[in-house]
Structure 1
Amino acid sequence: MAPKFRAWLKEEKRMTDVHEMTFIDGEVYLISDVTGFYAYDEFELMQSTGLRDKNGREIYEGDIVKYKYGVNTFTEVVTYDKDFAGFGLVDDDGYGSTVFTFGELAEDVDFSSLEVAGNIYENPELLKGK
């Protein structure tokens, strides 16, 4: 599976699919979508996890997902954990943040309950009160 990316365009305040990326010194410097080109300081890049939610929607870094664990429903942000080289969810308990990779969560969480509720750029209000 080829990696798939999307980007939040800061000035335009919109999400877009990334069609091409240009690298300089191993870092993404330029991206393009169907409308134009954007330099590194104009976007936030997010990679697909390769997973889909219960509605068939692709799950990306920066997405806010809801899921069931036992009788409780949780709302958390999808992130990439460099230490474990995997995607997971950020659990912020008010004392600090911990990332639980999808591999760790698979033992206890029913992934068929995962649902993308929004993302951190367009729907930050979904995380208020956490």
Structure 2
Amino acid sequence: MNRDRFKFRVWDKIGDQYYPASVFCASDLADPDDSTVVEQCTGLKDRDGKLIYEGDIVSFRSRGLFFKGTVVWTQEEVPGEINLGGFGIRLPEDQEYEFMDYSRDRDSLEVIGNIHEK
């Protein structure tokens, strides 16, 4: 089993920085206040070996085209998202894409930022 899938990080809105979830108690993670955002790891790593979390902005190449989107939690396939088995990549509305072929496309995933640090 991939234990990375059960890792979390916490964005502190007041301090404008990330903290590992280990510095918070479980009740804080289960019921975060308005000053924090809890983000779960997808269990996947990008092409450079960096863990991919909710809120990360990723780029990837598929079928000869480059795409960029935000990693989000999704319960179902939604137009504009690529299903990652619970996680998806929300693409900008001007990009159309139907399916991500993991055997080919996953190796090109690269974390290029996150929604908090721009």
Q: TM-score range by the shorter chain?
A: 0.7 to 0.9
Q: Structure 1 residues 108 and 69, CA, compared in 2 at 3 Å: closer, same or farther?
A: farther
Structure 1, unaligned runs of 5 or more: 31-39, 124-130
Q: Confirm whether residue 87 of structure 1 aligns to residue 87 of structure 2.
A: yes
Matched residue type, 1:7:
V
* Larger relative contact order (Cα-Cα within 8 Å, sequence gap ≥ 6): 2
Equivalent residue, structure 1, for 2:63 = 70
Misfit runs of 4+, over 6 Å? none
Larger Rg, first or second structure (1 or 2):
1
* Percent of residue pairs identical: 31
Q: Distance in 2 between matches of 1:107 and 1:13?
A: 33
Map Cα deviations across residues 17-64 of structure 1 (whole Å, 9 max, x no partner).
1013216xxx8225xxxxxxxxx2210110000000000000000000
More helix per residue: 1 or 2?
2
Contact 1:68-1:109 at 8 Å conserved across structures = no
TM-score with structure 2 setting the length? 0.76
Structure 2, unaligned runs of 5 or more: 78-84
Equivalent residue, structure 2, for 1:9 = 12
Matched residue type, 1:64:
I
More strand per residue: 1 or 2?
1
Matched residue type, 1:68:
R
TM-score with structure 1 setting the length? 0.70
SS in 2 for 1:110: helix
Equivalent residue, structure 2, for 1:55 = 48
